[in-house]
Structure 1
Amino acid sequence: MPAFVDTARITVKSGKGGNGAVSFHREKYVAAGGPDGGDGGRGGDVILQVDDHMSTLMDFRYKRKYVAGNGMDGTGKRCTGKDGEDMIVKVPLGTVVRDAESGQIICDMSTREPFVLARGGNGGWGNKHFATPTRQVPNFAKAGLPGQEREVVLELKLLADVGLVGFPNVGKSTLLSVVSKARPKIADYHFTTLVPNLGVVYLEEGVSFVMADIPGIIEGAAQGAGLGHDFLRHIDRCRLLIHLVDVSGREGRDPVEDFEAINEELKQYGEHLATRPMVVAGNKADIAEDRSLLEALKAHVEAKGLPFFELSAATHQGVDALMKYTAQRLQDLPPIQVFEPDYVPAPPKVDTSGEVTIEKVDDVWMVDGPWLQRLMANVNFGDVESRNWFDRILRESGLFERMEAQGVRDGDTVCLYNLEFEYRK
């Protein structure tokens, strides 16, 4: 059986924008052809896309970095460079993407809508953009902006309506194999099930649901004991839990104590699981050595207001009644949870201590510098707050003072990459 991987940490990097071109139209018998340098192509995006044929994050164990293509440089005749090729990263349905540093949710791939995880840098302007009545021969163009690079954590949370929980070897896999076409490994020893298994339970036309068999939980699972801690996340989305308890007495265990122990582990993992709707099934009732154990569990469970079913998954006793009740109960429950994004990007840290070149070309002040390029790649000029943040960083860096020392005055035209503006103190 292939390893089941349900968490992965990867780095993604979008493509750099291509550089603008410096070119002039030259044609026989055509005077003053003018500038015709094309823009650079846009860098490729890194896009997440659901693949229904993937069931684990195994692919990300071997490949940790995903890089999109860079945009091509512009050329003459106003030809824009080719955009960089997008990097499509395929993930299983139900993958939650978190920012590696803050742990906040960036997106939940619970639908089949693609998600742009890192946007490519814009291409630089060609010299055709800088032509004016007084500047008819602009001999300059702009470089493309860098793409985004970010580190994220992928976390697979299965999409299932019903989750089977309980101690190891209580019959969860047997029940799943009886009610669906899933074929999990079944054997009479603890931890037979090492990975979650999914099955579709079909009752009649229009009535079906997805059930997940979660590897056996033991006491201390929420703190990392056994296998339960690794897979408790897969019942985060389940609308209903079926708690299987072994009532046969063959292993000398107390069903009531087992029931409470598993509930405590669910509570330790998260209060939301402790309050999840639950159905309790006393399994292996056909081989019960002492019926008083079953009756004690039934009384204990019903005193808590939970429905109880006597069950023998191996002989199918009580299975139909449990499945019909489950389908009916699901009709009254809200749909499978989709995790809402809560990631708020922190303002990027830009070291403004590096060198900046300030020179006048024709009647335009050209300002360039590596840190300035990185800064502009993180600015959304359509957003007022982002523009204000950009202006504040420039002022705090002392750039405006340096520009004035070089001779920039009110009303002069300044060009910062793809941004051209009239300078004002």
Structure 2
Amino acid sequence: MFVDSVELTISSGKGGAGAISFWTEKFVANGGPDGGDGGRGGSIFFKVDNNTDTLSALRGKRVIKAENGRPGEGRKCYGRKGQDTIITVPPGTQVVDMETGEELLDLVTEGEEILFLEGGKGGLGNMHFKSSSNQRPTYAQPGLPGITKQIRLEMKLIADVGLVGYPNVGKSTLISTLSNARPQVANYEFTTLTPKLGVVHIGEYDSFMMADIPGIIEGASDGRGLGLEFLKHIERTKTLLLLIDAANYREMKYQYETLLVELQRYSQTLARRKHAVAITKIDSLSQDEVNTLTQTFLNDIGLEANNALNKYKADANYASYGFKADFGVVLPQEKPLFVLPISSVAHLNTEALRYTIGDFVRQVEEENKAEQEE
């Protein structure tokens, strides 16, 4: 079962109380106080494990508590420390304080183990309180209480490219064609009910991660459909690939602008992601129809077709690329860096798309590194 959000009450352990004890032994007249200290309470840790991909292991759990420290004992014996509790989560998990809404942790690094709540300190035994004026102390410290927090864990997939489009636009077919992912593929809307990840190889030592989410429809930002619920899974993506259905009854310009508007309503940050466009299902139309539709779409959004840049041998019979220009309609975000008609079923331009997206991802990574260095 895919679980990407859970709410928990977590508590670190309470420290053990110090002991009140006196050394009583034959032939020892003045043994004095010998109460040991209590043990520290167990702490709460978060560990990032790449072998987990959902939060389903935490589903149904309401409270997670570390073990309390044991109280001290006589003969200056210290109490045992409470056992720590380690919560294992997949990469991309955020820890959010439910009371304030503050993001407390962002867990993205594989193998990372972070102390979240420290256990309470154990109390001092009465042996610490003896003095020349008080040689028989009859009191010891109680252990300090643990820390309790109400949190929400939210998992956001980590990918390089996020696929965005209407239901049944061909996202699952594309990711199954380009990557090792095998999502359910069928000819009806909302076939994809949960996000999917796939690794796309573009060479022996080079690859990128692609994320497929359920389709977005008009009004998704108001709660319609499934897309809004899973849009958080592409918040971490470096780039977006918007899929436009050439065979759909909706005009391609309308599909494109609707997707941009829903992205913008959900997140201004997501709406500013650099993106490209793939026009899908061109195998259902003739070459002339595809070329006409593509040229019309490019004109509508203010891009120029440029078949000379066939770096990856895109099919020359189709208007292959649209590149960024400084004219055209005003949209909520930047123009797409390229537009490419494809057919995942007939494998038209899919290899060109694979390598072009690879270049696209590398370019964005280099730009981000340059910005960070500045």
Q: TM bucket by the smaller chain?
A: 0.7 to 0.9
Partner of 1:97: 95
2:282 partner amino acid: A
Which secondary structure does the structure 1 equivalent of 2:7 belong to?
strand
Distance 1:237 1:300 in 2: 29
Shift of 1:74: 0.4
Which secondary structure does the structure 2 equivalent of 1:155 belong to?
strand
Partner of 1:138: 137
Shift of 1:25: 2.9
1:158-169 correspondence to structure 2 within 5 Å: 158-169=157-168
> Which residue of 307, 310, 315 maps to 2:341?
310
Partner of 1:257: 254
Unaligned runs of 5+ in 2: 304-324, 326-334, 369-374
Which secondary structure does the structure 1 equivalent of 2:243 belong to?
strand
Deviations 1:220-245 (A, max 9, x none): 11111100110010110000101111
Shift of 1:31: 4.9
Structure 1 length-normalised TM: 0.75
Deviations 1:364-403 (A, max 9, x none): xxxxxxxxxxxxxxxxxxxxxxxxxxxxxxxxxxxxxxxx
Shift of 1:285: 1.6
Partner of 2:177: 178
Shift of 1:277: 0.7
> Which residue of 23, 26, 29 maps to 1:25?
23
2:169 partner amino acid: V
Shift of 1:146: 1.1
* Contact 1:285/1:294, CA 8 A, preserved across alignment: no
Shift of 1:324: 1.1
Distance 1:319 1:297 in 2: 20
Which secondary structure does the structure 1 equivalent of 2:59 belong to?
helix
* Contact 1:254/1:293, CA 8 A, preserved across alignment: no
Partner of 1:76: 74
Distance 2:63 2:53 in 1: 20
Distance 2:125 2:35 in 1: 5
Distance 1:188 1:84 in 2: 55
The answer to whether 1:299 aligns with 2:299 is: yes
1:50 partner amino acid: V
Distance 2:350 2:24 in 1: 83
Shift of 1:54: 2.5
The answer to whether 1:49 aligns with 2:80 is: no
* Contact 2:92/2:155, CA 8 A, preserved across alignment: yes
* Contact 1:21/1:75, CA 8 A, preserved across alignment: yes
1:391-402 correspondence to structure 2 within 5 Å: none
Distance 1:312 1:136 in 2: 89
Q: 1:64 to 1:334 in 2, by over 3 A?
A: farther
Which secondary structure does the structure 1 equivalent of 2:123 belong to?
coil
Which secondary structure does the structure 1 equivalent of 2:202 belong to?
strand
Higher alpha-carbon deviation: 302-311 or 205-214 = 302-311
* Contact 1:57/1:156, CA 8 A, preserved across alignment: yes
Shift of 1:286: 2.0
1:199-278 correspondence to structure 2 within 5 Å: 199-247=198-246, 249=247, 251-278=248-275
Distance 1:299 1:317 in 2: 23
Q: Percent same amino acid at aligned positions?
A: 46
The answer to whether 1:286 aligns with 2:283 is: yes
Distance 1:206 1:130 in 2: 66
Distance 1:59 1:217 in 2: 28
Partner of 1:37: 35
* CA-based RMSD: 1.8
1:309 partner amino acid: L
* Contact 2:274/2:336, CA 8 A, preserved across alignment: no
Deviations 1:118-176 (A, max 9, x none): 22111110012112233222221111111111100111111111101111111111111
Distance 1:201 1:299 in 2: 31
Shift of 1:57: 2.2
1:326 partner amino acid: I
Partner of 1:321: 352
2:279 partner amino acid: G
The answer to whether 1:58 aligns with 2:56 is: yes
Q: 1:262 to 1:305 in 2, by over 3 A?
A: closer
Larger Rg: 1
> Which residue of 325, 330, 335 maps to 2:361?
330
Which secondary structure does the structure 2 equivalent of 1:59 belong to?
helix
